[in-house]
């Protein structure tokens, strides 16, 4: 059986996902025997298909399942943030009408930041990959992860591999990538379980408050799911300052 070759070029930040040995190359050669597809060629270079929004084969838009032939030329583009390319790509079956996330087990600190900003964020430190995928598909959530493997599952449609490793930098990356500035509603969700908070009268929770809290605060929020009580104390002020600093970075870029 003869061996075939196609030429592949990755654009913009997709190059950051390439294995180190390929990052200095502008054009890449993908070799194969028998049958292969666009998806096979892309993931052979360790690029999850969820990071790709447009593929051109010989200058024509193509889907992930498009068969390849020897001599084909692939141009692979990342998910676009502001450019509408819906007329030339069918790689996503449908857009997500709301932005909600599910995070892998290594992103607990990012989950707390996203929830503090009011973003619907599921996280548990005992999720298995198949649970994350099942929930993401059932609830139309975007998978955030540092593990490329989970994003390579064929049934995953929406996901993002985080470039940053520090939680603060990850937060800025997510807000930028998904254009979340106008969707934020800080301190509207429980940072522990993600449920929306509701106002609660002081007399309903006063028995759970310390002496200084009872004396200095009158406005409280309650998590109806886990029962935690929130008020605008020192922790609130620190988190507010931290969020404002991170969001200013987003606005300045």
Over residues 25-49, mean pLDDT: 92
pLDDT of the residue at 172: 96
Of 24, 31, 35, 39, which is closest to residue 7 (Cα–Cα)? 31
Domain residue spans of the chain? 3-78, 101-187+243-251, 198-233
pTM of the model: 0.78
Q: Please tell me what DSSP assigns to residue 196.
A: B
Q: Which long-range contacts (CB under 8 A, 24 or more apart) does 21-30 make?
A: 29/5, 30/5, 30/6, 30/74
In the structure, what pLDDT confidence band is assigned to residue 2 with cuts at 50, 70 and 90? confident
Question: Please, is 100 exposed, middle or buried when counting C-beta atoms within 10 Å of its C-beta (0-12, 13-18, 19+)?
Answer: middle
In the structure, what pLDDT confidence band is assigned to residue 166 with cuts at 50, 70 and 90? very high
Over residues 43-65, mean pLDDT: 91
CA distances (Å), origin 89, targets 11, 154, 200: 16, 18, 48
Over residues 106-135, mean pLDDT: 96
Q: Is the pLDDT of residue 90 over 80?
A: no
Structure token pair of residue 209: 């408050």
Nearest-5° Cα angle at 159, 104 to 153: 85
Q: Which CATH class is domain 3-78?
A: alpha beta
C-alpha 93/C-alpha 176 separation (Å) is 23
Structure token pair of residue 242: 């931290």
C-alpha 122/C-alpha 64 separation (Å) is 29
Q: Please tell me what DSSP assigns to residue 33.
A: E
User: Sign (positive/negative) of CA torsion 133, 46, 175, 90?
Assistant: negative
pLDDT of the residue at 84: 47
C-alpha 209/C-alpha 172 separation (Å) is 34
């Amino acid at each position: 059986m003869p061996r075939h070759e196609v030429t592949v070029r990755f654009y913009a930040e997709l190059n950051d996902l390439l294995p180190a040995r390929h990052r200095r190359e502008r054009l890449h050669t993908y070799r194969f025997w028998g049958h292969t597809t666009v998806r096979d060629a892309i993931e052979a270079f360790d690029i999850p298909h969820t990071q790709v929004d447009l593929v051109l084969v010989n200058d024509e838009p193509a889907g992930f399942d498009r068969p390849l032939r020897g001599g084909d030329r692939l141009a692979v583009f990342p998910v676009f943030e502001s450019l509408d390319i819906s007329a030339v790509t069918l790689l996503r079956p449908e857009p997500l009408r709301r932005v909600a996330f599910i995070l892998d087990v290594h992103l607990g600190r990012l989950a707390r930041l996203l929830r503090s900003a009011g973003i619907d964020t599921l996280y548990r430190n005992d999720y298995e990959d198949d649970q994350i995928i099942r929930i993401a598909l059932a609830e139309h959530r975007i998978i955030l992860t540092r593990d490329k493997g989970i994003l390579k599952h064929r049934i995953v449609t929406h996901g993002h591999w985080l470039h940053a490793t520090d939680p603060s930098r990850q937060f800025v990356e997510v807000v930028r990538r998904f254009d979340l500035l106008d969707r934020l509603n800080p301190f509207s969700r429980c940072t522990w379980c993600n449920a929306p908070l509701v106002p609660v009268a002081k007399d309903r929770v006063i028995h759970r408050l310390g002496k200084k809290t009872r004396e200095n605060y009158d406005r409280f929020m309650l998590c109806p799911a886990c029962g935690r009580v929130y008020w605008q104390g020192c922790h609130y002020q620190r988190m507010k300052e931290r969020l404002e600093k991170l969001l200013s970075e987003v606005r300045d870029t």
